[in-house]
Amino acid sequence: MPVRPELSAAQRALAVLDAAHARAASALERAVARRAEVVSEQDRQVAAAQAGVDRAVAEMAQRVSVELTAQLLGLSVNEVRRLAKAHAPAPDGHTGTTVDNAH
């Protein structure tokens, strides 16, 4: 039974549209994966920057005082104490925290 020309043309058009959809869906998947990689890297950068801020607060508290540091930086005394304790040098010279800067 021969296929009518209209049906054949419609089938070809559907195949073209389906292929276009598949390419678009694949491009979307790649874009989402790239975004996840970028967000992950930015999260690492933010964590490293936050660790730097925390260390600076701790160093200020150790050099001047917890109370003055809290007042100057607009932080609670408890937060400054927590940071100072977390970043206090250990007997071996290392601080209580580390940040992984490996990529």
Our count of domains for the chain comes to 1
Q: Is 95 contained in some domain?
A: no
CA 27 to chain centre: 22
The tokens for 95 are 């601080």
Q: Is 28 contained in some domain?
A: yes
Radius of gyration for the alpha carbons in the chain, expressed in angstroms and rounded:
29
Lowest mean pLDDT among 22-31, 48-57, 87-96: 87-96
Question: Whole domain around residue 81: which residue ranges?
Answer: 5-86
Q: Is 21 contained in some domain?
A: yes
Q: How confident is the model at residue 26 (pLDDT cuts 50, 70, 90)?
A: very high
pLDDT score at 99: 44
Cβ pair 58, 86 in contact under 8 A: yes
Per-residue pLDDT of 31-79, as tens digits, reads 999 999 999 999 999 999 999 999 999 999 999 999 999 999 999 999 9
Q: Is 9 contained in some domain?
A: yes
Indicate the average pLDDT of the chain: 89
CA 51 to chain centre: 14
| pTM greater than the 0.85 cutoff | no
Q: Is 101 contained in some domain?
A: no
